[in-house]
Structure 1
Amino acid sequence: MANQDQFRQWGRKVIDIEKAALDNLYQFVDSDAFGQACELIMQCKGKVIVMGMGKSGHIGNKISATFASTGTPAFFVHPGEASHGDLGALAKGDIILAISNSGESSEILTLMPVIQRMGVPVIAITGKPESNMAKLAKLHLCIEVPEEACPLGLAPTSSTTATLVMGDALAVALLQAKGFTRDDFALSHPGGSLGRKLLLKVNDIMHKGDSLPLVKQDICITQALYEISNKGLGMTAVVDDNNTLVGIFTDGDLRRVIDAEVNLRTTPISQVMTANCVTSPADVLAAQALQVMESKSINGLIVVDDKQQPVGALNMLDMVKAGVI
């Protein structure tokens, strides 16, 4: 029975073999075909349709997803299903990215006559430059590897890693050529943390309307505490008779008031509030408001309009719930 040392040894061997496969990949990225493939995809007016069977299909799914999320419209079509109607997704102006380590995938080769009749160019990614797929394609990208990491030489390992990296190389080269930005990335990832940071604005997450804690400056501290307790944000905005913000009163202010033994029932909130408090406009990114809160070491913000009237409020918990943190 194998021991832990043997497991580690075998694991390191796999990594060594796959590293060698990636080193071997440089020559194929440096080839004219790689640059031509990038240019062909850049000029594509339609979509990149990725195909592959078995493990190549799994890798193809990931490559198509990477393309789509980095500014190159793409999706995966299973070659087996393509023969039974899914090829209807193919249109003039599209490009096929066909993946097969052997270059002899019968499911893809069966489709080639139809694809050629439609005038859709094919970029083949195979480990065999002399294969039928390589010969029939407009362009061939080689991902030949010295050996598979599988000691039997059967399970696709090094070859699938090389294919995945070749796909990443294409996608990232295209991303840079198109000037794809973080904002562009966020638009296709609205549910991800980066998307939330780059798309969510203060107005999207702030408490407003009846949820906004708000008191007049002449009320006593006890009344202000009722407002803080009812709204549950640990603070309240303080305004004058014109509804202009004059300060903020927080849980932290309350602790200082109690330590100073101030009369909570008779002292106006204006005497113990924090005047000239930090505020935020509603139309800035929530991530920018978070940076302000962190730089000032505060847990909450009052959101004001251009007349300095409160329109919202938010705290660190709101940032956490929104996924900005």
Structure 2
Amino acid sequence: MSKIVQQALRVLEVEAQAILLLRERIGPEFENVVNLVRNCQGKIIVTGMGKSGQIARKLASTFSSTGTPAVFVHPAESSHGDLGIVDPKDVVLALSYGGESPEFAGILKFVARKGISLVAITGNVNSSLAKAAQYTLNVNVPEEACPLGLAPTASSTATLAMGDALAMAVMNEKGFSSEDFAEFHPGGSLGYRLLTRVKDVMHTGDALPTVGLDTPIREVFSIMTHKDVRGAAGIVDQNGDLVGLITDGQIRRRLEKTNDPLTGSAKDLMTTSPRTIDVQELAEKALFVMEQFQINMLFVLDKESAHPKRPVGILHVQDLLRARVR
């Protein structure tokens, strides 16, 4: 094993151990911080200097995207007007491994005067920051992963992990759902996957290939060929309820078995109990159903309507791919 590989493995081992040590510090103090943040009537002010500042920016983003409004405030800039963003209803989350950064002086005095709740994430529980805080989360590590023992590595990893643990615990306590998450992430594939519903991509109206039970086979073939979604026809009864399905696979098998494939009606060829999907379901679920049963299309029902068995649309796997569901 080369020295390069050895060094890389050592870094991963040291940082992994730093995170594992945090398990011993998840207790009543952590629960108190979760409850404080969860019940915050304002926003979370996340602040930090240097590497801690970069982690603070990330945590502010994580909180905001999971249902807890948060902003990053640079501690050095806070004394030059940025304290105006801090409201008495807010909670200040201050990150500093050493806990003695002089740039914190202004914001610490401000929160003390205003009676604003302060939480410290630090590796020094005896620091000025920890003593000023209402609650302290300890992220002390035995060693840094840096070969010189100087660059913040294991300590910054532990700080990030503790912040993530806090954000996820708060999210869980709030009952934040995947649908809520999607509302904050409408762009890109994630938004499409979590926001797009069957009703958004299905074919309706004249594009819906349905026939009656007594429709002649010749007419069924014609409908299956000329509708927007080709290769299938839904069979409906006198009430308009979906009772069967004919696919191009069934037609091919019929051609192989009989010399007169155009005789008979839809009820003679259809299969019963076709797979369906509700109009309000996520499009992602529709794709899962298609993959699970190895089918290319689903008829769509509106189960909350006055006619829950009547087809209102049809969905093809290509519609889902075009909608960037996967």
Same fold (TM over 0.5): yes
Identity %: 44
Aligned: 1:49 with 2:45 = yes
Deviation string, structure 1 residues 135-187 (Cα, Å, up to 9, x no partner): 33333322222221111223210011110121123223334444555555555
Does the CA contact (< 8 Å) of 2:182 and 2:195 recur in 1? yes
Q: Which amino acid aligns with 1:141?
A: L
In the other structure, the counterpart of 1:303 is 300
Please give the residue correspondences for 1:47-196 in structure 2 after superposition, counting only pairs within 5 Å. Answer: 47-180=43-176, 185=181, 188-189=184-185
Residues in 2 aligned to 1:251 and 1:108: alpha-carbon distance in whole angstroms: 71
Residue number among 236, 248, 251 corresponding to 2:248 in the alignment: 251
Does the CA contact (< 8 Å) of 1:124 and 1:139 recur in 2? yes
Q: Provide the secondary structure at the position in 2 that maps to 1:104.
A: coil
Residues in 2 aligned to 1:155 and 1:266: alpha-carbon distance in whole angstroms: 81
Relative to structure 1, is the Cα distance of residues 58 and 235 closer, same or farther in structure 2, using a 3 angstrom cutoff? farther
Does the CA contact (< 8 Å) of 1:222 and 1:265 recur in 2? no
Q: Which amino acid aligns with 2:318?
A: L
Aligned: 1:234 with 2:223 = no
Relative to structure 1, is the Cα distance of residues 277 and 47 closer, same or farther in structure 2, using a 3 angstrom cutoff? same
Residues in 2 aligned to 1:204 and 1:142: alpha-carbon distance in whole angstroms: 48
Gaps of 5+ in 1: none
In the other structure, the counterpart of 1:317 is 318
Residues in 2 aligned to 1:117 and 1:138: alpha-carbon distance in whole angstroms: 14
**RMSD of aligned C-alpha atoms?**
3.4
Does the CA contact (< 8 Å) of 1:236 and 1:248 recur in 2? yes
In the other structure, the counterpart of 1:12 is 9
Does the CA contact (< 8 Å) of 1:222 and 1:264 recur in 2? no
In the other structure, the counterpart of 2:202 is 206
Q: How many residues align?
A: 321
Residues in 2 aligned to 1:126 and 1:150: alpha-carbon distance in whole angstroms: 19
Aligned: 1:22 with 2:19 = yes
Q: Provide the secondary structure at the position in 2 that maps to 1:231.
A: coil
Residues in 1 aligned to 2:230 and 2:58: alpha-carbon distance in whole angstroms: 43
Residue number among 256, 260, 269 corresponding to 2:257 in the alignment: 260
In the other structure, the counterpart of 1:36 is 32
Deviation at 1:198, TM superposition (A): 6.3
| Deviating more after overlay: 75-84 vs 128-137 | 75-84
Normalised to the residue count of structure 2, the TM-score between the two structures is: 0.80
Relative to structure 1, is the Cα distance of residues 52 and 281 closer, same or farther in structure 2, using a 3 angstrom cutoff? same
Deviation string, structure 1 residues 73-100 (Cα, Å, up to 9, x no partner): 3333333554454433321211010112
Does the CA contact (< 8 Å) of 1:213 and 1:228 recur in 2? no
Residues in 1 aligned to 2:136 and 2:236: alpha-carbon distance in whole angstroms: 70
Gaps of 5+ in 2: none
Residues in 2 aligned to 1:65 and 1:262: alpha-carbon distance in whole angstroms: 68
